[in-house]
Structure 1
């Protein structure tokens, strides 16, 4: 019972931050600068994001010893830094946790790097 009280207090004092669940229309506005990047149309990006993350900014998926983060499901094996994979190449030069917030500016910048290096086949 004693361990329940502190846990209960933490839950009250620090409520969970809900994930941002984007709609297609919201994403279309936010991603209009990426339309045509790497030869990929905006509808292709929107469809890909639906199938990878369900438009959820806090989506995290375990995949073959790595974790994929955020809307674009960016892997900590190559693209971002996490404590799970300290030897990551961190090509996007960013902490993976940054892909879990509602500001997708850095997500888009990393997605462009991924497109430059791997193309749409990454997803």
Structure 2
């Protein structure tokens, strides 16, 4: 009878998948990020390692940090780079809603990460 308790949970997982959140593996992430390799002088392994330390490769990571909030895989801050309800007067340099960094489409995340690398370099992280 113990096995039966897993069946309903399994069905719920199949019928109601999460909002396309993704926990990447290192290999998957390397594939997605390969066009950032060498960008601003940062190697892919260095960038992958940095991302692991800040978000554990989980797109749904949200960290509150001294009155600002950082979103997603790249932990992009609502103070300068994206806009949310917490800081409506954000500079919003990437011209995007912060919650866009929580899904599994990394296209917009990477565009913003490149802007951050352009202006702050890897030291941002």
TM-score, L = length of structure 1: 0.86
In structure 2, C-alpha distance between the alignment counterparts of 1:17 and 1:79, rounded to whole Å:
23
In structure 1, C-alpha distance between the alignment counterparts of 2:31 and 2:103, rounded to whole Å:
18
| 2:109 counterpart residue number | 107
- Of 105, 116, 119 in structure 1, the residue corresponding to residue 118 of structure 2 is 116
Give the alignment's Cα RMSD to 1 decimal. Answer: 1.5
* Unaligned 5+ runs, structure 1: 1-12
TM-score, L = length of structure 2: 0.85
* Unaligned 5+ runs, structure 2: 1-14
In structure 1, C-alpha distance between the alignment counterparts of 2:48 and 2:121, rounded to whole Å:
15
Checking the alignment, whether the CA contact within 8 Å between 2:57 and 2:73 is kept in structure 1 is yes
- Of 92, 96, 99 in structure 1, the residue corresponding to residue 98 of structure 2 is 96
Partner SS, residue 88 of structure 2? coil
Regions of 4+ moved over 6 Å? none
